[in-house]
Amino acid sequence: MADRTSLAVRDLAVEFRSEQGVVRALDGVSFDLHAGRTLGVVGESGCGKSVTARSILRIVDRPGRITAGRMILDPGTPREVDLAQLDPESKEMRGVRGGRVGLIFQEPMTALSVHYTVGNQIMEAVLQHADISKAEAQNRAIELLREVGIPRPETRISAYPFELSGGLRQRVGIAMALAGDPEIVIADEPTTALDVTTQAQILSLLRRLQEEKNIALMLITHDMGVIAEMADEVAVMYLGRVVEFAPVEEVFSEPRHPYTRALLRAVPSILATPRQRLSTIGGAVPHPGARPSGCPFHPRCSEQLGALCTEQSPRPVPPGRSGAACFKVDQSEAVTA
Amino acid sequence: MNLLEVQDLKKHYPIRAGLMRREVGRVRAVDGVSFHIAQGETLALVGESGCGKTTVSRCILRALTVTSGAIRFATSETETVDLATLPKRQVRPLRRHIQMIFQDPYASLNPRMMVGDIIAEPLKVNGVPAAERRDRVAELLELVQMPQSARIRFPHAFSGGQRQRVGIARALALNPRLVVADEPVSALDVSVQAQIINLLLDLQDRLGLSMLFVAHDLSVVRHVSDRVAVMYVGRIVEVAPTDTLYRAPLHPYTEALLAAVPAPDPSRRGRRRVAQGEVADPANPPPGCAFHPRCPYAVDRCRIERPELTPTGSGRYVSCHRAAELDLVGVR
Candidates B53, B190, B242, B261: best to mutate against A (most CBs of A within 10 A) is: B190
Average pLDDT over residues A270-279: 89
Least confident window among A95-99, B147-151, B236-240, B270-274: B270-274
User: Which residue segment(s) compose the domain that B331 sits in?
Assistant: 249-332
Average pLDDT over residues A268-290: 86
Average pLDDT over residues B193-199: 93
Average pLDDT over residues B238-261: 95
B30-33 contacts, C-beta under 8 A, 24 or more apart: B30/B55, B30/B56, B30/B59, B30/B234, B31/B233, B31/B234, B31/B235, B31/B282, B31/B285, B32/B8, B32/B69, B32/B234, B32/B235, B33/B6, B33/B8, B33/B9, B33/B69, B33/B231, B33/B234, B33/B235, B33/B236
Answer yes or no: is B305 within a domain.
yes
Render pLDDT for A209-267 as a digit per residue (tens, 0 to 9): 999 999 999 999 999 999 999 999 999 999 999 999 999 999 999 999 999 999 999 99
Residue B241 has pLDDT above 50, yes or no: yes
| Residue in B190, B278, B332 closest to A165 by CB | B278
Confidence of residue B9 (pLDDT cuts 50, 70, 90): very high
Render pLDDT for B268-311 as a digit per residue (tens, 0 to 9): 887 677 788 888 888 888 999 999 999 999 999 999 999 999 99
Answer yes or no: is B253 within a domain.
yes
Say yes or no for a CB contact (<8 Å) between B192 and A284: yes
Which pLDDT does position A336 carry in this prediction? 60
| Residue in B159, B256, B275 closest to A284 by CB | B159
Question: Nearest residue on chain A to B268, judged by CA atoms?
Answer: A229
B231 vs B104, more confident: B231
A198 and A166 in contact (C-beta within 8 Å)? Answer: yes
Highest-scoring range by mean pLDDT, A1-5, B136-140, B215-219:
B136-140
Answer yes or no: is B296 within a domain.
yes
| Interface predicted TM-score (ipTM) | 0.84
Residue A1 has pLDDT above 50, yes or no: no
Say yes or no for a CB contact (<8 Å) between B263 and A278: no
Answer yes or no: is B69 within a domain.
no
Average pLDDT over residues A198-213: 93
The percentage of residues in chain B with a pLDDT greater than 90, rounded to a whole number, is 79
Which pLDDT does position B10 carry in this prediction? 96
Question: Nearest residue on chain A to B226, judged by CA atoms?
Answer: A274
Which pLDDT does position A45 carry in this prediction? 84
Say yes or no for a CB contact (<8 Å) between B264 and A248: no
Number of domains in chain B: 1
Give B50 to chain A, closest Cα distance, Å. 10
Average model confidence (pLDDT) across chain A? 91
Say yes or no for a CB contact (<8 Å) between B201 and A275: yes
Residue A67 has pLDDT above 70, yes or no: yes
Say yes or no for a CB contact (<8 Å) between B262 and A198: no
Question: Nearest residue on chain B to A259, judged by CA atoms?
Answer: B191
Which pLDDT does position A317 carry in this prediction? 93
Q: What spatial distance separates the first Cα and last Cα of chain A, rounded to whole Å?
A: 23
Answer yes or no: is B148 within a domain.
no
Which pLDDT does position A282 carry in this prediction? 78
The percentage of residues in chain A with a pLDDT greater than 90, rounded to a whole number, is 73
Give A19 to chain B, closest Cα distance, Å. 19
Contacts of A274 in chain B (CB under 8 A): 222, 226, 242-243
Give A296 to chain B, closest Cα distance, Å. 16
Give A295 to chain B, closest Cα distance, Å. 18
CB within 8 Å of A27: residues ≥ 6 apart: A13, A48, A239, A240, A241, A291
Answer yes or no: is B288 within a domain.
yes
Contacts of B269 in chain A (CB under 8 A): 228-229
Give B47 to chain A, closest Cα distance, Å. 9
List strand residue ranges (DSSP E) for A19-63, in order.
21-34, 38-42
Answer yes or no: is B259 within a domain.
yes
Render pLDDT for B76-88 as a digit per residue (tens, 0 to 9): 989 999 999 999 8
Answer yes or no: is B275 within a domain.
yes
